[in-house]
Structure 1
Amino acid sequence: MTMADRQGLAQDTGVAAAAAPAALPRHIAIIMDGNGRWATQRGLPRVEGHRRGVEALRRTLKAARDIGIEIVTVYSFSSENWSRPPAEVSALMGLLKRFIRNDLAELHEANVRVRIAGDRTALDPDIRALLVEAEALTARNLGQTLIVAFNYGSRQEIAAAARALAEEVARGERTPESITPEAIEARLNTAGIPDPDLVIRTSGEMRLSNFLMWQAAYAELVFQPVLWPDYGREALEEALAEYGRRERRYGGLAAGR
């Protein structure tokens, strides 16, 4: 999608009223937080909050496609989430399976390419098979890219990249001096994907929680009080409007300073 196309989409969908179309981010990453609190506030089991969170994900992905966001990365399950109660973990795995089975065809029809970021080695075979299926079915799609961070941890990802490079040095395939930021980036789960321009976290918490710490080095961060099950187009447009008011400097000076 060209910049002109993205500007036109932003104008058509109303985002231009709050943010300059040229400032529309190419890649947004979302920490979908607040499912448990949403359920607790309503006297519902936590799993119901997660189920409503899946509905919010569907709404938000569609809104992002309509607006013209090229890449969306969502933090669906962290490597630390295994420490949650077994019943909750089991429910989350079930929701993941249902999301892929029920939504994959729709995503494929919408020309969405699905990629998975995270460690798959210890996952159950049926989960691994679903992840492979999602990537294989949509591999040739050229529309929006959806990156699902599943069993993902940024520290673990960076450590794995460093380990791979160290092994290459030990085998005599490279020198220590050849280890550059670009060499590390090429071994991250997101290799070949532009860094996120905007990271959104819901529920009012203000931290990255081991999410895309390398990739988000120069991302704009927007923290919103809305709990994830209540998220949708309006909240996304508010985040995009805030992004449009920012001046991205990448370590340089602001204009005129």
Structure 2
Amino acid sequence: MSQFDHNLVFICNRTQQQDVFNILGVVFGSALFLGFNNCISLQPIVIMERVVLYREKAAGMYSTLAYAIAQMAIELPYIIVQVLVFAMIVYPMIGFQMTTVKLFWFLLYMMLSFMYYTLYGMMTVALTPNLEMASGLSFLIYVFWNVFSGFIIGRELITIWWRWVYWANPAAWTVYGLMFSQLGDRTELIHVPGQPDQTVQEFLEGYLGLEGRYFNLVTYLHLVVIALFALLFFIFVKHLKFERR
């Protein structure tokens, strides 16, 4: 079996520390890059629709609240379809366990990830006067989310005075939830260079800092940040006006 094939059936044949990192890389790429692409692709549309809001609101057609609710609700079908299509391809390809519970957690975290990226993109549009500034602000924050997500630098390796950025990072919560929900109960031994063999569960906790006691917390934090971005989107749309006469 080739190394590539070995990585795809990782769950069934896990022997090396690098195998865990391979899965971490897939999870990182799935959650961050796809989410950020979703964020960037919708911003031009939201910019155009904001102009329509100014016109229709001035004519008394509908309120800002109705617009905000409709803008957020219309994204849900797209997010659901994207996640389902993505999961049908990627989940079995990686070799994750085909159990109802683990598939549910994978779908849930991917959906929550897409939702907060989408709402974050909408929020930056509502906060800034044009697409260029919205894209720039999104990219700036994305860099921090990327660096402190737990992939480039594991949580336990982050300098203690920067560790608060990890815990304030929605992308880190997604990586945490996806990794722990899929591998947190695995007891197969893996070889870690320079250390005694240890189980996958022990490696996740010792090197990456993924502990079961925080699993429920990161799930709830996803819901909190989604609600926060939605609220900020409504507030910015209502009180910040960038129309030109």
Band the TM-score falls in, shorter-chain normalisation: under 0.3
**Bigger Cα Rg:** 2
Greater strand share, structure number:
1
TM-score by structure 1 length?
0.24
TM-score by structure 2 length?
0.25
